[in-house]
């Protein structure tokens, strides 16, 4: 498959401000997307930024319906206290 054909089959999304190219559709899980961003799903949750201060949080095994230009953020589950 050429790079051009590969490019047509992917859509850009952002996770924590970094752009990633993924296949569109409802097949990626939140855990898959966190791993793509280099994060361990056992320590982070994934949330989609919906606008107006609203977010939708996903469980690690929950499928995410991926569309072009969606924005996601990671949410750290716990943090050490100083």
For residue 26, list its beta bridge partners: 65
Tell me how far apart the alpha carbons of residues 35 and 32 are, in angstroms, rounded to a whole number: 5
Q: What is the pLDDT along the chain (82 residues), one digit of tens a residue?
A: 445 544 468 999 999 999 999 988 877 899 999 999 999 999 999 999 998 889 999 999 999 999 999 999 999 987 677 6
Name the pTM for this structure. 0.81
Question: Residue 1: what pLDDT?
Answer: 44
In the chain, the domains with their CATH numbers are 3-76 (3.10.20.90)
Tell me how far apart the alpha carbons of residues 58 and 31 are, in angstroms, rounded to a whole number: 9
């Amino acid at each position: 498959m050429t790079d051009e054909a590969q490019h047509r089959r992917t859509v850009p999304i952002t996770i924590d401000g970094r752009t990633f190219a993924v296949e569109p559709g409802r097949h990626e899980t939140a855990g898959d997307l966190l791993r793509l961003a280099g994060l361990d799903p056992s320590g982070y949750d994934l949330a989609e930024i919906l606008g107006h201060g609203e977010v939708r949080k996903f469980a690690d095994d929950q499928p995410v319906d991926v569309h072009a230009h969606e924005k996601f953020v990671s949410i750290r589950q716990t943090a050490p206290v100083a």
